[in-house]
Homo-oligomer: A and B are copies of this chain.
Amino acid sequence: MSVTAPRSGREMPRFAGPTTFLRLPTLEQLSDPDVVLLGAPFDGATTYRPGARLAPRAVRQASDQAHAFHAELEHDPFATLSVVDGGDVNMPPHDIVAAMDALQSVTAEHLQAGRCVFTCGGDHSISLPMLRAMAAQHGPVGLIHVDAHYDTYPAAWGNDLHHGTPFRHALREGLIDPTRCLQLGLRGSLSSAQDLDFSRQAGFCVVTQANWDDGDGKERLAGFMKSLRGPIYISVDVDGLDPAFAPGTGTPVPGGLSVRELKSVLRQLRGQQIVGGDVAEISPPYDNAGITALIGADLLHTYVTLHALGRR
């Protein structure tokens, strides 16, 4: 029987009551859950337009429509898992290293207690401390990375830990297994052709948007999925989606995935061992009518359900 579940609208109207991720209890209310949803309200590593520090609260508010049963995956994860809102990690906005350490530390603690952790950023720099905690627990993980950007870029203004570098560091630190890494949604202009080299030389499965639209991207994705094994981390930067679907982001790039394509890709992870994940770069100041935050809530539900399905 479900010990936690999104609070029903019959119990309290959906526009009322506490705003927590997926209308779930808090860690104070249920102290030893199976899955923890964290907020990482940090955008101090942003190189362009800030605002992602405000995303966790926006996604909590956009969680109004949460129900237990994931219709598209045809599964109620709350029937078998207790899931809670673990609150916001206390990340100082002016100190990237301290902020990353705080997130890594909280995540590691949960992982060590046998919990799964999904995090709502924050800018994309949050993936590095998350992966550090994940790898410490699980060894190098596979990575499903959806993004308009490679995020393997060089340092900027002497700073090597910004929101465009997490996956370069993750590879170099041995946190991810490159043979099990997918990058999807990549597009837009680049400084030079060399920007493409890192991912390809690393051995990632790279599916650019152009390749998805005009080339063999869908086939390569299917091949990648087929051979995928082991613990997997999912990282969705909402700018992987087209700005029409996700206007509320700091670095939008025209011509991205639709929400339905993203959801369809994620459905292909059914049965995989999902050990953690994040949704990054939601920027509420640009989020007309809050439609991007809704996607954040939807992704958290999907992550939890995939995790439940992989445990069975």
B10 touches A71 (CB 8 A): no
- CA of A19 to CA of B51 in the docked complex: distance in angstroms? 18
| Residues of A near any B CB (own CB < 8 A) | 6, 8-19, 26, 28-29, 39, 41, 43-51, 53-54, 56-57, 60-61, 64-72, 74, 76, 87-88, 90-96, 98, 154, 156-159, 162, 186-193, 195-196, 208-210, 213-214, 242-245, 247-248, 251-256, 258-260, 263-264, 267, 285-289, 291, 294-295, 298, 301
Q: A159-B92, A193-B74 are in contact. Are A255 and B15 (CB under 8 A)?
A: no
A71 touches B186 (CB 8 A): yes
Q: Kindly list the 9 A-B residue pairs having the minimum CB-CB distance in the complex, ordered from nearest.
A: A50-B50, A285-B285, A92-B157, A67-B189, A16-B41, A247-B289, A243-B291, A72-B210, A16-B88
Q: How far is the CB of A294 from chain B (nearest CB, A)?
A: 5
Q: How far is the CB of A205 from chain B (nearest CB, A)?
A: 17
B289 touches A288 (CB 8 A): yes
B19 touches A19 (CB 8 A): yes
Please name all residues of chain B whose beta carbon is closer than 8 Å to the beta carbon of A294 when the two chains form the complex: 243, 252-254
